[in-house]
Structure formats: structure tokens, C-alpha cells
Amino acid sequence: MASELKRRLDYSDLAASPDDGKIYELVRGELLVSPSPSPMHQRVSKRLQRQLEDYFESRELGEVFNAPIDVILSEQDVFVPDLIVVAEPDHISKRGIESPPVLVVEILSPSSRRTDRGVKARRYAELGVRHYWIVDPDRRRLECHQLSRRTFRPLIEAEGGDTLDHPAWDGLSVNLAALWR
């Protein structure tokens, strides 16, 4: 009896996925499917996006994008992060973002908590994303990680109504209270 070989999926498979409101991503050719985000998730994303735009775009340090947008780091590694900052305009193509963003932000939800902290974080680091933020709306917490030797190291964190002054970007202050209101 012939055994069927499992093939790894690539960007062309992902581009053919249904438009059903779910989020489809690839990690090393393996499919990840997530439900569409909750209203609270979307509120936090929108509020953080405004703060990132105020900083990065007003200083012409990068452009902020929100989901859904494909971040194509290899043909078999395609992500749809909640927020990203792209510093180099030539990394933006017709398909999506085709080089590691300077910052990837994932907002945790019950269905993504393990994946965002585990396999996705490891793969983002291996593929050269320099900064990775994890926002936890349930704990009202922001964790900022920075790439060091192909792995993320904690850099700074804040919670509740604190203001986070990010050490890698002079003048970047994130008002956490504004995210949870």
C-alpha cells in the first residue's frame, strides 16, 4: 500500500484559501487557522496602532500596518500579525510585506495565546524580526522583546495604566491606559 507524502504548504496555497473571515498563516509550511478577532482585541489593536502611527509615521521612521496583511518571510512562512512596522519601503510588495518588519505586534486571544508565545515567536526570531511585542488584554500587559542571536530576549514590560518608554526608540511612549479604556 502506497503511503501518501504530506507536502508543506506555500504562499500559493495560502493565496487560494477561502475568504471566510478566519486568519490563515503558515509556519514552516504548516497551516495555522485562527478565528476572526473579538471586539476587545480589535479595540486594543486600533488604539495601539494610533500610538505607533503617531510615533513612527510622524518621524518618518516607518509605516504601520494592521491585520490582515501578509508578512511573507519565506514561501512557507507567511504570517498575519495584528500590527507591524515596516522601516524600508522596498519591503512592501503587491503581495504584502516581503522582509522582516522592524516590529511585529501580536495581541493575545484565547485561541492564539500558546501559538503567539511559542511557535510564532520562535519563527519570527529565526527569520530576523528585530522587535516582538506581545499585548495581553486580559492581563492588561505589554511585553517588548528584542532579537538577540536569533532568539527574543525580554527588553521592557508594563501593565495596567502605566506608560511604557521604549528604550530602542527615543521618545516612543506607549500609554497603556488608553489601550484598555
| pLDDT tens-digit readout, 46-91 | 999 999 999 999 999 999 999 999 999 999 999 999 999 999 999 9
Query: Is 150 inside any structural domain?
Result: yes
Place of cell 518571510: 73
C-alpha cell belonging to residue 77? 512562512
- What pairing do the DSSP bridges indicate for beta strands 173-175 and 163-165? antiparallel
How many independent structural domains does the chain possess? 1
Q: Which among 69, 64, 91, 81 is positioned nearest to 120, based on CA atoms?
A: 81
pLDDT of the residue at 6: 60
Rg (C-alpha) for the chain, rounded Å, is 16
Query: Is 3 inside any structural domain?
Result: no
Query: Is 149 inside any structural domain?
Result: yes
Task: Specify the CATH number for the domain of residue 132.
Answer: 3.90.1570.10
C-alpha cell belonging to residue 59? 518621524
Query: Is 133 inside any structural domain?
Result: yes
Q: Which among 25, 28, 27 is positioned nearest to 15, based on CA atoms?
A: 25
Query: Is 1 inside any structural domain?
Result: no
Domain containing residue 21: 11-180
Query: Is 115 inside any structural domain?
Result: yes
In this predicted structure, the answer to whether residue 26 has a pLDDT above a threshold of 70 is yes
Query: Is 136 inside any structural domain?
Result: yes
Query: Is 6 inside any structural domain?
Result: no
Which tens digits make up the pLDDT trace of 119-138? 999 999 999 999 999 999 99
